Amino acid sequence: MNESKAMILGCGGLTLSDDERAFFRAERPWGFILFSRNLADAAQISDLVADLRDCIGTADAPVLIDQEGGRVQRIRPPLAPDYPAPSRIGALYNDDVRAGLRAAWLMSRLHAQDLSRFGINVDCLPVLDVPISGGDKVIGDRAYSTDPEGVVQLGREAVAGLMDGGVLPVVKHIPGHGRASVDSHHELPIVHETRDVLSATDFVPFKAMASVPMAMTAHVVYAAIDPDCPATTSHLVIEEVIRRQIGFDGLLLSDDTSMKALSGDFATKTGAIFDAGCDVILHCNGVMGEMVEVAANTPVLQGKSESRAQAVISLFSEAEAIDEDALRVEFRDLVAAYA
């Protein structure tokens, strides 16, 4: 059997090209990720998801998407309603704890309902970053709160809502992106805060939710821990902070390899990501030349990484039945005052 390689890949458009189909069949990525460029209508999305899975012969292969609400929401009307940014759920929570927690669960449960229609089974949610005043807006209103405990409480409900709907969560961006002063899509953020402060703030939500099955790394340098490498390529950060201090033993995904925060060619970046201790590499933009280089330097899933990946697959389940219309009305009414 040709085993899965430890990578999650994107594709270029609305349908697979012959080259993409042949490449995926030969290289067997563990999963896939979709972006707005891959989404047109309901039948097209469902067909694309099925075609991706057919390429690797795995009916329940993970298909990921970023469906947070607010600025980061790939599937939009008429395919799914626009959802508020997570910060609006946090604002409700600050005024009424029970209402905020209910809204966090509802939004994720409705995301799961939307995504399941197309066969998408992983949502890269929740964002557990704790933003600070003056930080880059790349996180901003994607975060639930500037209070770590609020992030924990709302994040837990978001995870529960997804899993109740048969969709698995990916917490991000471990061990914390909220202090970044620049956007890691374009350049490398360097955080100079002490480890004690980071431990008391940024790391708190991830430690509280260390049992979530998947997490995505931050392309952020924590100078007090490793002044040379961002978390994604830092053995120190992954082993000492993510695995030991935070206690996360789930499947660790890199953030997107094509983001400008990482330096070097794709062979160099891929090697550094696995050397640091990531289980699975994520490459999102669907550029074939880049994917070929990533695939050539990606191992098959083995050892602890394979066990973690199998544990993720074992968690896929059927959604609990809901009265969808009633939940949508309830959610709309809860967040109406925070438009």
Indicate which residues carry an active-site annotation. 185, 255
Distances in whole angstroms, Cα of residue 280 to Cα of each of 102, 115, 135, 256: 33, 23, 28, 11
Residue 127's closest CA among 118, 116, 138, 117?
138
- Helix and strand element counts for the chain (H, E): 12, 13
- Tokens 């966090």, residue? 104
Which residues are CB-neighbours of 14 under 8 A, at least 6 positions away? 37, 38, 39, 40, 44, 48
Q: Give burial (CB, 10 Å; 0-12/13-18/19+) of 200.
A: exposed
Q: What is the DSSP string of 56-69?
A: HT-TT--EEE-EEE
C-alpha 218/C-alpha 253 separation (Å) is: 10
Using CA of residue 39, residue 7, residue 117, residue 74, what is the dihedral sign?
A: negative
Q: Which two tokens stand for residue 129?
A: 């970053």
Beta strands in the chain, from DSSP E residues, in sequence order:
5-9, 29-33, 63-65, 67-69, 72-73, 122-123, 168-169, 171-174, 190-191, 214-217, 221-222, 251-256, 280-283
Residue 254's closest CA among 228, 219, 220?
219
Task: Determine how many CB atoms are found less than 10 A away from the CB of residue 113.
Answer: 19
Specify the amino acid at residue 268.
T
C-alpha 7/C-alpha 24 separation (Å) is: 11
Specify the amino acid at residue 212.
V
